[in-house]
Amino acid sequence: MKTIIQILVIISAIIFTAGSIQAGEKDPVAVLFQVKGDVDYSKDGKKWKKVRRNKFLFSGYQIRSAEDGSGKITIKPTGENVMLAPNSILEVTDNGLKAVQGDFSTVESSNKLVSGLIKKFSKSQSYTTVRRSAQTQNAVELDAVRSVVISDSHPYLVWDNLDKAYSYKLYLGGELYDVPETENAVVRVKLNPFEGTKTFKIEAYKGGELITKLDQFKSRGELKDYTVSWLESAKKQELDQITTGLVEEYGEDTFILGTYFEKEDMWVAAMDHYKSYLTNNPDDIEMTPYLFRVYKKLKLENIYDKELNEYMQVVVE
């Protein structure tokens, strides 16, 4: 009997320490854009707010248009673009839209790129799960993104600041960057332009003493270098063309643009865009998990933990 009790205690401890707290389990079903006239949305069918720019729609939301109201909606499951008619009320379901009043009509299929980008808004739950660990780590650990693409307009490399008393040395190819102490949670270094791909290493110092360093990482039992690539000119022209098209279709302040940066491994650009969007559109807090996804890719665990806890407090209220 004593043995059974001990086993149950151990199992309970494992469940607790590996347990999770989940929030924000929903992913958007559609995005409303090119809104004209009077269009409102509601998260519960009771409290309505005016749509002033493109708006991501989740299952359970409702949209209503006045006599002068209209807009386009891209539906994630089907990839279709539909037109919201005046004097209509639409309900967002898990699979798309349902007309409660009035109607909507399919106008076209969204292009392959946009359809693919919108489908990347998935698995938000995996970025809003806090896993408790039974172990306490006392060692100072330095980490950074494994591989990232930067450009003329987004020339930054970032990593977690271990402590405000730490300074750093960044070795990029044959170039050395001395990075002074900062109180910011994230160290942010503007890189000089270069061609192609370069490996990088980071050393952390406190009071002039080397504390820890980032050299290589292990992947499937093999040591590999951390790398950063500068966007080549031909790819830059393609990126400019695509981003211009996304802005023309969905507006300048569009969350989808960050998803395109993700697709191109421009993780810092994606982070900056998502943060700017969420600052300007606080009511779209449900989209925050996709910023967390980028934090995880950039290995920004400190700011991820801090902002995840803040997010969970808000969504639980």
Span 61-77, pLDDT tens digits: 999 999 999 999 999 98
pLDDT class of 262 with cuts at 50, 70, 90? very high
Spatial CB neighbours of 125, under 8 Å, sequence gap ≥ 6: 22, 24, 25, 289
Match 């044959």 to its residue by tokens: 174
pLDDT class of 6 with cuts at 50, 70, 90? very low
- pLDDT at residue number 10: 37
- pLDDT at residue number 138: 56
- To the nearest 10 degrees (0 to 180), the angle between helices 256-263 and 288-297 is 20
For the entire predicted model, the pTM comes to 0.85
pLDDT class of 12 with cuts at 50, 70, 90? very low
The answer, yes or no, to whether residue 112 has pLDDT greater than 90, is no
What mean pLDDT comes out for the span 202-214? 96
Q: End-to-end CA distance of the chain, in Å?
A: 43
- pLDDT at residue number 240: 92
Instruction: Calculate the alpha carbon distances from 287 to 17, 18, 197, 296 in Å.
Output: 28, 26, 32, 15
Domain with CATH 2.60.40.10 in the chain: 124-132+139-317
For the structural domain made of 124-132+139-317, what CATH number should be given?
A: 2.60.40.10
